[in-house]
Amino acid sequence: MFAEVYSVAIYGYAVMINHVHVVLKIDADAAADWSDEELARRWCQAFPGSAEPESQTSRIANIAAAPELVAKYRDRLRDLSWFMKSLAEPIARQANKEDGCTGRFWEGRFKAQSLVDERALSAAMVYADLNPIRAKMTTDLPGSNHTSAQRRILQIKTQAPLAEQPLGVVAGIKQEGLSLSNQSYLTLANFTGRHWHQGKPGRTSDGVRLILEALKIAPEQWDQQLRGFDERRVTALGALDRLIQFATETGRRWLIGYQLARKAYHTAMAL
């Protein structure tokens, strides 16, 4: 539900036993385009309180008529911390209720890494989707419950043309499709998951090699890119030139992630 009210685009996710991975984009421009009434409706949908339906109508009107509330709530609905709070708290309450206990459910405050190009975004999606396989909860993508990969697989089963359509968001604000198709992405994720399950690298098929070439990353560097998500101190991932651009745009002199980019992308130009 929260993906439909916040100004976010969800590219991937995996809901695990005591943590969740979400690959998303905050679309601040989309939130800026909402009318005051649309903003108020979204806020009341995210935080309905205990008001009756007829009272919600009045509440929406009152918020829309208050510029200071409109500005405050617009900022909150395009804020990553607010989204993660809205996502985490209901899950924690429900889990504690089912377990008959109280106290902290999640491991701690969320950790975020910036993804500065499509290669990093694709790798993050694969990393999230393969979490059940890494945790030995399953051996393949179809059995990876509560993941975006499983959702894509089920959608393609009922809507075959989706297989060759550009890879896009699974929920939230619509975005321009990526260069990979849904089927190419699932092929790459399946290839990676199979090797992770086996615990050793294997032969890269011609099909997978072509997919990696489309992402402009060498096959032998693909796993290196994925390992970057295990480095919690890494603040941003992507090609070195894009990291430098990102650092400049955000006013940073240094990013933890430069060394990983050199390792993961140093052969990419040879493709």
Tell me the pLDDT tens digit for each residue of 205-227. Answer: 888 999 998 888 887 788 878 87
Question: In terms of Cα–Cα distance, which of 138, 127, 97 is closest to 226?
Answer: 127
Q: Which helix (H) or strand (E) holds 14?
A: strand 8-15
Judge if 81 and 145 occupy the same domain.
no
Write the CA distances from 34 to 5, 26, 31, 177, integer angstroms: 11, 15, 5, 22
Tokens coding 109: 């405050």
Could you tell me which residue, 185 or 93, shows the higher pLDDT?
Answer: 185
Residue 142 has pLDDT above 60, yes or no: yes
Query: What's the distance, Cα to Cα, between the start and end of the chain in Å?
Result: 41
Domain limits for position 128: 114-270
**Is there a domain that residue 64 lies in?**
yes
Judge if 137 and 229 occupy the same domain.
yes
pLDDT score of 173: 95
| Residue 202's pLDDT band (cuts 50, 70, 90) | low
Judge if 148 and 227 occupy the same domain.
yes
Show Cβ contacts of residue 101 under 8 Å, excluding neighbours closer than 6 positions. none
**Is there a domain that residue 243 lies in?**
yes
Judge if 81 and 201 occupy the same domain.
no
